Amino acid sequence: MAPGESSGYTYEEYKATADWLLSQTQHRPTIAIICGSGLGALADTLKDPVKLQYCDIPNFPTTSVAGHVGRLVFGTLNGKGCVCMQGRFHLYEGHAVWKTTFPIRVFQLIGVKTLIVTNASGGLNADYKVGDIMLVKDHINLPGFAGVNPLVGPNEERFGERFPCMSDAYDKELRSLAAEVSRDLNSCGILREGIYCALGGPSYETIAECRMLRALGADAVGMSTTHEVITARHCKLRVLGLSLVTNKVVMDYESKERANHEEVLQSSKRSAELLEKLVTHIVARMDCSRNTS
């Protein structure tokens, strides 16, 4: 943390933002969905939408990444109250880690019980193909090895305990539901289950780094998600993670392949419709009355 930099938002700031959002809409969502790179169209499927630009929301950070609109959309999806983030916040934009996770605690204060996180990722597992959807079973928060964790600093007990358990970060029942929905949609051939690894970015991984990550057990790699999930679990939200494999990482020094963000956006566009369908059907069959843990 830089000298003089704040250690985070106060509870009162989170509450002020939550109260402001509730004053702008009659929707009372129990599900929040974070739309990753190129996946923001999911928010456009909400019924009776109320759209709020990040720049108009008190205390909200703004996003500067192509493929991230920068808007909150409230509405209903298959009769369930939802709020979608069209664009998230990343460390590589220059945000402090506690800023990247600001919306999660706000969501908890407005009544959200379940968080669905989606992202675009590079496939490390040799069996993965571009267009596959990985059901996140667990994650490796590599920046956390250097102390980059959204819970660093004074703990706010009104959100959660000082040392939250992360061995159940991704809800087992929700993962089972996602697999069941995928079978019913005849898309189980592209649904994988694996481990997501987050790096800081914005540069893509070197070949040596990719080989190391694979040796550590990671199946896909990206530049987001883990900090949001850590914060969500601190708040006792249930979490479902879905990662769209938009490119295969380069593991061979003789390869002429090069990772680039435009490729990620194009691949997301081609496969986003299936991911949207999957999420829509998962939400329809989700039990929102279940207690959080």
Q: Angle at the Cα of 188 (from 117 to 268), degrees rounded to 5?
A: 45
- 293 included as an active-site residue: no
Confidence of residue 268 (pLDDT cuts 50, 70, 90): low
Confidence of residue 5 (pLDDT cuts 50, 70, 90): very low
Asked if residue 37 has pLDDT above 90, the reply is: no
pLDDT for the residue 1: 38
pLDDT for the residue 68: 61
- 281 included as an active-site residue: no
Please give the average per-residue pLDDT across 128-157, as a whole number.
Answer: 95
Residue 87, φ and ψ in degrees, nearest 5: 115, 135
Of residues 68, 139, 234, 281, which has the active-site annotation? 68
- 93 included as an active-site residue: yes
Asked if residue 236 has pLDDT above 70, the reply is: yes
Asked if residue 187 has pLDDT above 70, the reply is: yes
Of residues 93, 156, 180, 263, which has the active-site annotation? 93
- 141 included as an active-site residue: no
Of residues 223, 232, 272, 286, which has the active-site annotation? 223
Please state whether beta strands 80-86 and 71-77 pair in parallel, antiparallel, or not at all (unpaired): antiparallel
Of residues 18, 32, 120, 134, which has the active-site annotation? 120
- 7 included as an active-site residue: no
Whether the Cβ atoms of residue 261 and residue 66 lie closer than 8 Å to each other: yes
- 251 included as an active-site residue: no
Beta strands in the chain (DSSP E): 31-35, 47-53, 71-77, 80-86, 114-123, 133-141, 191-198, 220-222, 238-248
Beta-bridge mates of residue 83: 32, 74
- 37 included as an active-site residue: yes
Task: Give this prediction's pTM.
Answer: 0.93
- 64 included as an active-site residue: no
Asked if residue 4 has pLDDT above 50, the reply is: no
- Whole-number Å distance between alpha carbons of 80 and 290: 14
- pLDDT averaged over the chain? 91
Asked if residue 266 has pLDDT above 80, the reply is: no
Of residues 119, 149, 247, 271, which has the active-site annotation? 247
Q: Angle at the Cα of 242 (from 245 to 285), degrees rounded to 5?
A: 140
Of residues 16, 64, 261, 263, which has the active-site annotation? 261
Of residues 92, 179, 209, 251, which has the active-site annotation? 92
- 261 included as an active-site residue: yes
Q: What fold is seen in the domain 11-284?
A: Rossmann fold (3.40.50)
Whether the Cβ atoms of residue 242 and residue 117 lie closer than 8 Å to each other: yes
Give the chain's count of helices (H) and strands (E). Answer: 7, 9
Burial of 41 (0-12, 13-18, 19+ CB in 10 A): middle
Smallest CA-to-CA distance from 52 within 80, 78, 92, 87 is with 87
Asked if residue 39 has pLDDT above 90, the reply is: no
Of residues 224, 243, 267, 268, which has the active-site annotation? 224
Give the 3-state secondary structure of residue 249: coil
Of residues 9, 32, 43, 90, which has the active-site annotation? 90
